[in-house]
Structure formats: structure tokens, C-alpha cells
Structure 1
């Protein structure tokens, strides 16, 4: 009777750009399959199973059309499968597909299902379908909720038994007078023991519930019936045809759907057309409280050819910070803490620096704490090393001095977010992962979102992190066990739920959302933080003009994961892309947004420099600005020079950029974008300065300098071994034909370029620059590391060992 039986432990979102409800949009691209946990026919010893073909054939059609399929069973967990035809290509494909088989090993319990997320409920067949499903009231309620939300109810073969008792809230049949088909009694072998165990006769049960049971007189002819939003099939041969009918019903469910708009958005992702086994993205587009577009492209796991869906989880890197900030503001709203609280009230282990660091200082990137990620790299940690929350705290607690008085300056440091995660733990009694799950993710139905604070955690339905290597793609494993700054995994569907909460809050208030999107300030409550990325907000995002239109944006890059979000608050348009394709995905997200925004931009995509008002300067006038310039705050060096009668600038060995004069001492950089980047030259006494701004950013002040040169003999003074007590790490400096360099056993070689006397710029961002210090006899005693993330990190020179004869 069975081919084989085995036990396993367990788009279409085409929407108008105007008025489709978010509930319907979410449900349209998700299908709920109902399967049975029954191992035996009744109480007999005859093995029962779910029909593999009646699962995998529709599953294949749905997923290829861009739908996500989830499984529910009365008990959850593993379900038995049978009727496997190993010679059938589709059966074989999914039998050896670990992603799919894991779904069958881990089916959901009815209580875990959020009905509003699904547009179709599909009852699979097989002998097991006759047991435990029809009488399960929780599954009945799911079917009623889906149907009442304009969804489709479908069943195939013995799966029709699941419809036996479906009634509305008034006790009336859900399909009264409708034509329903399934496996008819005439095809059953009534003399066999298996049949005698059946708790009901399908066709009679349908008739008893006021349905009109119909069937074909022949098996295998693909017979199915569509009556309203009920789609039923007689036997496995109907599976593909009835699935196509279900998809057609969903497409027609809203007459306002604009196919052309959907196609335009699809074209943004054309690089994945007809391509298999390629890392990809999941994309989402919202307008107000409506979802415009939600779809996956490419492959989540190359090894298993798992497709990316809107429920595929991605690590979103630094975009995780907004959730940490939200959690803190939520605790403030609940009266559990104040932003003015001393952080040491919650973390007494934090050294007493003689100046109070408040929670606000941590949120506003004005704490004066050194960045633990920079300290981690300098300490010699490698990417492949497991790095925990405790390791991060240990690095922070070892630092005995601040870089500046809290609240008087801004500087980016991940240390603040890690400490905020600890504040959340001490305030709520829950880790950030636990608190976020209970107070953010669960209330919003974000069932595919979590903070991972354990690198060994197995995360189901996760996109693998890839990056290109010499011999093709390779996995890029992430060994962080930290949460707060990174390590949030989420899906496109869940991220849509998160941003819909900004319009109609289910967790947190409108006031909280407003605070999240407000600029951070210093102690004076006036000075804001304006790096080149834009005005920095409490939500750890940036406010920046895109072609003259304000936008909030953020990106996350972690391993091979890359995420981008653009929010246009005035137009209420949100566009994001999550990827495992190891690249910046901002252009994809922006191109989606532009399709919706249309002609709202007062400025062109790129500056037309032929129309820019400029002045004419002679080569001699241009030469007056030539030279090297040094920014001691941002630790950056650049060179300005004249080439072909044009002033140009270059940072390191990067490509040069042209500068055109718009005033006698002001130049604008020629760039293929809408960014207005200016260089203003001025003299203050004996100091010649260059002031750099990008749009409305803060000023970056560079001072003219003449590069210091050293002979090999001079560089010998800097050779030796240096030790940092705050990190318990040593570096040995020496020189080669390129100049001064250093490394330790865990660090790649770091090269140093002389800037001024005893001041060198390193090839490592974390090292930034090093400034050597000397005693009264002018002997070098150590050096300080200064970068854009840490200040005055001291390394002392070790005394040279003397050799005794």
C-alpha cells in the first residue's frame, strides 16, 4: 500500500501603491500546510503517514512562485511521511533537501500560528490525515480566521477530512452549498483493516456539514474543484493544477492590484532572474501603514539550494542597535529607569572615572568610553575567535581613563551599546534577547526575529553568510556571542512588522517613536552630532537629505550579511533590503523607494557640474592650496595637488577626485551623486587650514603639514617591544624597506607612515595614529594610540634585555 514510510522530527505580495491592508499583504505570501502526527491507523499496528507527494508538489509550485510555506500539526514537531516515489524528481529533490525536511521535523503547534499571517490553509492528505486533524478545534479556528480574512481553504485527497466540521461563529457550515471533492468512498478498500479504523467517511462528513461532495469516476485524471475560495482535489494527480488555481485566486483577491507596478519593482532585482545557487536578498517596501512589496531573491544556502523567502533570517549587523535603543526607551517609558541615571547604578563594576556617565551619554555616543571593538582588534582577537559579552565587558572595565568628559563631545563607540544591554539585564532581570522577545518581538508577531547571544545557537531558516574567495564562495562564520551592537537576526516580513509599529504602535508609544527619531544632543541639550552620514538619532540611525528630501537611514555589514534601510518620513515610505550577498545593498533599497516616491525630489540624482557656478583660478593660485593636510580628531591625512590645471585631492592610495573652485578659497568635489562636498581653505595666523564638509555635516578641520622623513638609522629609535597594561598585549616594532611596521602573533602586519615628528599614521583603522613619547633624555619610552574610536591608549616600551657572557 505504501511506497515507503519514515518518521522525521519535524509574493506574491503584489500590491497597489495605495490602499491594501497590511494584514492581507502579509497573509498573501504565506501558506499554512496542515499535516498529521498520526503514526498508526487508529489504535491498530498498521503504519499511517502523510502523503509526501501531496505535500512536495504544491510546496514546489508555491515556493517557486515566491510564497513561504509553513507547517502545522495538532501536536507540533515531527510528522510521519510516506507514499514516497524515489524515482520522481520532485519527491527526490525534497527528500534530500535538509531545509525542507527540517520543516517537517519541526512543525508548529496550532497555538504558535498567527492566522493573520496566512492567506491560504492547505490540508495535505495520506492515511494519517484522517486522524487528529478534523476534530482539532485550534486548527478549525485557524481555518476560519484565514477564510474570514479573504483567504483560501484547500484540501487534497484524504486531507478533505480536515474540513469535516468547519463552521462559522454562528455554527453554520463554512462551505454550505459549495462543491467539495476529496478521496471518495468508492475508491476505498472497505474490506481492509485500515479503512475500518477511520473515524469518519469523508463524503458523508462533507454532506452532513451542508457541503456538496462531488468526484470523478476515475482516479489519476487531475480532478479538482474551485468553488468560491474553497479549492479541493480528489487525489495526488490534482496537486499542481489546484495549486495554480490557489495562486490565481490570491492574485485576483484585490481588483486594485497593479501588475505593472509590481513588475517595475521586480526589475530592481533582475540580476537574480533565471539564476540558481546565488546568494541574494529579501526586500520590503512600505508606505504608511501599508506594505507595498515583500519578496525574496536568490539562495539562502548554496549547499542545499534553499531559496530566500520573506521569512528567511538574516543578521543585520549595526542595524541591530535600533532595537537596543528602543528597549532602553521602553524601560524609561515603563518607569524602570531614567536617561539621567548614572550607569554605575546598574553596573557598579564600571570604573569610577570621577565623572558621571549617564544612560543618555551611552545612547548619544558621548560617553567618552573607548570603543571595545577597536580594543578587541588591538588586543589581538581574530575574527575566527569566539568573542562573548563578558569578553566585551572585560575590555571596557580594564580601561581606567575616559577619552573626554562625558557629554562634552561625540565619538562613535560600541561600548555604550554593550553597556546598555547590561543595563537592560540589571533593570528587567532579563537579557536583551529575553527582554526583546517578550516586550518587542512577540507583541509585534515577529516570530522570526531574535538576538543571538550564543555563537553556537542553531538558528532555523537562516541565510548562510557568504563571501567570495579565490576559489569561489566560502562561508563567513560569525563567532560573536554579543548582543546590543549586532547579532540581531530577522526576516523581511518581521522587519516590516517592526516598521509598521512606527505608524501604529503596538509596543511603545508615539512619544517613544518620536524620541527614537530625534537627534542626540550633548549636555547643553543643543549641540547635535552631524557626521558625514547625517544627523545622528537616538535610534542609532542617521537623518540625511536625499536629493533634497529628508531620509532616515542605516546599514549593517557583518560577515557576508549586508542590510540597508531608507525611511522617508514626510512621504511615509520605508524601503529595506537584507542580504547574504556580501555587498552594500543600498542601491537596491533606494531604487525601490524611488519607484514609489516618483517626482518628489527637488534635486537631480547627480549634480550637473556643467551648470555649477564656478570661478576661474590660475595654476599659480591653485598651487597655493597644494600640500598635505592632517585631521588630528578624525585621524586622517590627505594630499591636495594640481594636475592638468585642476586642483585634486587624494586620501592614501585611493582614487583622486577633482575640486572645482566656487569661490576664491572654496572648492566643491566633483562626484557622481547629489552630495555637496566642499573644501574651504583659510589661514589663521601661521596655521593654514582646510575645512571639509559634506552636506550639513559638522566641520572636519585639517591642518597643513610638511611630512616628516626618517632615515633608516632614525627609525631604529622606534624599534623595540611595547606593552599595554590596559589590554595585556605587546607589539614589537621594526623596519623593512617600506619603513616602520609592527605585528603580533594574532595580527597581520601594520605599516606606519610618518606625519610629523614622532607621529605616524597606521594602515589599521583601529591603530589610527601613534604618537611616540620621550623622556628628558629624548629616549622613547612609549607611545599613545589615537583613532576615531579611542584616545590616548598607552603602550610603554619594554627595557631591552642585556646578554651576559
Structure 2
């Protein structure tokens, strides 16, 4: 893993240049279409995919429907709920505040955020970012019968119902949606503005993402919105929202593959944060036992046969998504779908393999990461 971190450190400063490591020629579009045949039905929820190579969108495709009753086709401008792909944006909000000196990664959360549970008094902001906090999952305290949606502000009360952390902070890893909801509250506390507004003004707009939104029902509107579905014995039925769908910090952003092209470019050109900060975000922590934590700030991190690989999946009510990024090859693949189930991370990897010319490692890190979903 040391070699991986060194490679990422080098790449953080040179992604604006053409990579010296070449990928294979672009495959025929029909090859990609074949991979997405299960999403291409004119009667079923669909998918949108984009491939970026050396800063350019070299393939953009869409399949199936964004909304079934009106038979609205999915396009590359269709906005899907990103689910946990949202975490990289929440992390970016923290990174921007840290660069401005308004917070430090090793600040105790309890010193920044009033109401943070006493049993987690040693949790630092850094621990929330890389899933080493050990705080309990707020979903564990939300009954299946609940109809009122949970908001980020409710998460503090929910995690306060626990009596301890899963482990001493910083000693192990466990994927935590609670951690990223708390990070959203920290952004609000430190910046003095609502989290959704901070993302719009300080992350989306400077990145060139004009229509991406941290969606709040009754407050904001999702343009060209895809609605979520789940398959049953009778076909597909709506499943667009759950009791936790309104939590923004861990998964409440809507965006399109077209918008995410701008996001990827902003990362590669350091439009939002500097080289050193980007390097930190793409470095996994070393745990006390000497192993890697495998998660930076909003990204899973691993070494795919000597190639540094960044990735994330996203699963929520009616949506399943994936992103894989090879900084050294300057290759990114993003797959967004509006149906529960499926394995778009495997599709994303297979598409990436077409450009890489060799199979990437499976499983992805999240598939063996404690509690990741």
C-alpha cells in the first residue's frame, strides 16, 4: 500500500498533464451497449454511463426509462439520487473549510458540534471522514414502521441512544452513514449556512455543476429527475423514498453523468482544493495494527494490480450507482441507475477494463469493508 500512496501523491500534482501510461484504443460503442443490455428495455428503469479519459468525455450513453408512467427516456442529463456517491461532496465541503483554516481534521467533534454524544468525546473530524470513528449507525435506531423522514439534524439524537462506540476511535474501520451526516452538521455549524446552500455555493457552482442539488423536499427541485424502482414478480414498482432518504450528508445529492464530468475535471485540475489537500483525501489511514484503512476522505482506495484505484458505490431506495477512477491512467467511469439491485460497480469495472486492456481486480474494496452498503 505504501507504493499506492506514493503514486497517488505524485498524481495529485500532475493530473493536469497527459499521462505517460497509455490505455488501449476506445472500444466500439456496441460493446458497451451489450454490457448494459439489461437496462435498455423501453419498459424498464434505466441507466446512464460516462467514460472520461484524459479530461474528456469519450463515451456517454443512456438506457431505459427515467420515469415509468410517463415513459420518460433516461438521458445523459437525467439526474439520479447519488446515494453514497454523495459522500465525496460532503468530504469536499470539509476539505474546503479546512483549507481556509476554519477547522482542523484533528478537532474533536464534541468541541465543534454541541450535542455530540459524550460517549464519543474522542472522535475527531478525521475519524468521521475515513470511517474510523466507531459511532453507531443511526439507521439502527430508526424503526421499520417510521413514516416521518429523518433529517441530518436528527442523527445526533439517534446516535446518542448508543452507550459506546463500536471501537475506540481511530483503531479500526466500520462504514458509517452517521459519520457523514454529522459532517454535514459540522459544515453548517462552521460555515453558518445550511449544508445544501454551502454545497451549491462552495462546491457545485465553482466546479461547474449548474444543476446538481442536495435535494430538500419542498425547498429545491431536481431537474430531469429519475425516479427509483424495485423489481417484483409483477415487474417494476415505485420505490423512490425511504425514512432515511432525506439525510443529505450521507446520500442526498442528485446529479447526472453530464454534471459529474465537470466534477471529475474539477478534481483533476484542483479547481476546488489544492494539490496537498487532494493528496490527503486520496490517502487511506494506517491503522494501529499496521493495516490500511482502505478509505480516504469520501473515496475507497486500493491497488488494482499495481494501478492506484479510487472507487465508490451507492445504494439507496430505488437507486444503485458506482464510480471508479484510475488517476494514473486518467480514466474515470460513472454508472447511475434508477433501480434497486444490480451491480453497477461490476459494469463500471468492465467498462474501465475495455480502456485498460486488462481485467481490473474484483472485489472492489467496499465489498469486503465492514458494514459498507
Smaller-chain TM-score bracket: 0.7 to 0.9
Q: Pairwise mapping of residues 578-617 of structure 1 onto structure 2 (< 5 A)? A: 578-582=336-340, 583-598=342-357, 601=358
Question: Pick from 83, 91, 100: which aligns with 1:325?
Answer: 91
Shift of 1:540: 3.5
Q: Pairwise mapping of residues 327-366 of structure 1 onto structure 2 (< 5 A)? A: 327-353=93-119, 355-366=121-132
Residue in structure 1 matched with residue 326 of structure 2 by the alignment = 568
Deviation sequence 1:380-401 (CA, Å, 0-9, x none): 2447542222332211233343
Residue in structure 2 matched with residue 446 of structure 1 by the alignment = 209
Q: Report the TM-score when normalising by structure 1.
A: 0.40
Could you say what secondary structure the match of 2:264 adopts?
helix
Residue in structure 1 matched with residue 141 of structure 2 by the alignment = 375
Could you say what secondary structure the match of 1:329 adopts?
helix
Structure 2 unaligned segments of length 5 or more: list them. 1-24
Is the aligned partner of 1:492 residue 2:257? yes
> Compared with structure 1, are the counterparts of its residues 469 and 506 closer, same or farther at alpha carbon in structure 2 (3 Å cutoff)?
same
Q: Indicate conservation of the 8 Å contact 1:386/1:455, yes or no.
A: no
Could you say what secondary structure the match of 2:332 adopts?
strand
Residue in structure 1 matched with residue 282 of structure 2 by the alignment = 517
> Compared with structure 1, are the counterparts of its residues 541 and 578 closer, same or farther at alpha carbon in structure 2 (3 Å cutoff)?
same
Question: Pick from 540, 543, 551: which aligns with 2:302?
Answer: 543
Q: Indicate conservation of the 8 Å contact 1:367/1:416, yes or no.
A: yes
Could you say what secondary structure the match of 2:347 adopts?
helix
Shift of 1:326: 1.2
Residue in structure 2 matched with residue 261 of structure 1 by the alignment = 28
Could you say what secondary structure the match of 2:28 adopts?
helix
Residue in structure 1 matched with residue 61 of structure 2 by the alignment = 295
Residue in structure 2 matched with residue 396 of structure 1 by the alignment = 159
Q: Indicate conservation of the 8 Å contact 1:296/1:309, yes or no.
A: yes
Q: Indicate conservation of the 8 Å contact 1:424/1:432, yes or no.
A: yes
Residue in structure 2 matched with residue 115 of structure 1 by the alignment = none
Q: Indicate conservation of the 8 Å contact 2:153/2:185, yes or no.
A: no
Q: Indicate conservation of the 8 Å contact 1:521/1:528, yes or no.
A: yes
Is the aligned partner of 1:286 residue 2:52? yes
Structure 1 unaligned segments of length 5 or more: list them. 1-257, 606-672, 677-693, 699-786, 790-805
Q: Indicate conservation of the 8 Å contact 1:537/1:543, yes or no.
A: no
Residue in structure 2 matched with residue 417 of structure 1 by the alignment = 180
> Compared with structure 1, are the counterparts of its residues 788 and 517 closer, same or farther at alpha carbon in structure 2 (3 Å cutoff)?
closer
Residue in structure 2 matched with residue 558 of structure 1 by the alignment = 316
Shift of 1:405: 2.5
Shift of 1:507: 1.6
Structure 2 distance, partners of 1:503, 1:454, is: 32
Structure 2 distance, partners of 1:455, 1:374, is: 27
Shift of 1:430: 1.5
Residue in structure 1 matched with residue 12 of structure 2 by the alignment = none
Q: Pairwise mapping of residues 11-160 of structure 1 onto structure 2 (< 5 A)? A: none
Question: Pick from 421, 426, 432: which aligns with 2:195?
Answer: 432
Question: Pick from 169, 184, 192: which aligns with 1:406?
Answer: 169
Question: Pick from 73, 79, 96: which aligns with 1:307?
Answer: 73
Shift of 1:311: 1.2
Q: Indicate conservation of the 8 Å contact 2:79/2:255, yes or no.
A: yes
> Compared with structure 1, are the counterparts of its residues 434 and 504 closer, same or farther at alpha carbon in structure 2 (3 Å cutoff)?
same
Q: Indicate conservation of the 8 Å contact 2:120/2:164, yes or no.
A: no
How many residues end up aligned between the 2 structures?
Answer: 343
Deviation sequence 1:191-245 (CA, Å, 0-9, x none): xxxxxxxxxxxxxxxxxxxxxxxxxxxxxxxxxxxxxxxxxxxxxxxxxxxxxxx
Deviation sequence 1:33-64 (CA, Å, 0-9, x none): xxxxxxxxxxxxxxxxxxxxxxxxxxxxxxxx
Could you say what secondary structure the match of 1:443 adopts?
helix
Deviation sequence 1:660-719 (CA, Å, 0-9, x none): xxxxxxxxxxxxx8669xxxxxxxxxxxxxxxxx9xx89xxxxxxxxxxxxxxxxxxxxx
Could you say what secondary structure the match of 1:485 adopts?
coil
Could you say what secondary structure the match of 1:387 adopts?
coil
Q: Indicate conservation of the 8 Å contact 2:322/2:334, yes or no.
A: yes
Q: Indicate conservation of the 8 Å contact 1:282/1:295, yes or no.
A: yes
Structure with greater helix share of residues = 2
Is the aligned partner of 1:461 residue 2:224? yes
Shift of 1:322: 1.1
Q: Indicate conservation of the 8 Å contact 2:128/2:179, yes or no.
A: yes
> Compared with structure 1, are the counterparts of its residues 443 and 597 closer, same or farther at alpha carbon in structure 2 (3 Å cutoff)?
same
Structure 1 distance, partners of 2:177, 2:125, is: 14
Could you say what secondary structure the match of 1:442 adopts?
helix
Q: Which has the higher contact order (CA 8 A, sep 6+)?
A: 2
Q: Report the TM-score when normalising by structure 2.
A: 0.83
> Highest CA radius of gyration, 1 or 2?
1
Question: Pick from 499, 503, 514: which aligns with 2:268?
Answer: 503
Q: Indicate conservation of the 8 Å contact 1:437/1:450, yes or no.
A: yes
Deviation sequence 1:327-384 (CA, Å, 0-9, x none): 11111011111111121222121133384221112112222321212232xxx24475
Structure 2 distance, partners of 1:272, 1:344, is: 46
Q: Indicate conservation of the 8 Å contact 1:502/1:510, yes or no.
A: no
> Compared with structure 1, are the counterparts of its residues 293 and 337 closer, same or farther at alpha carbon in structure 2 (3 Å cutoff)?
same
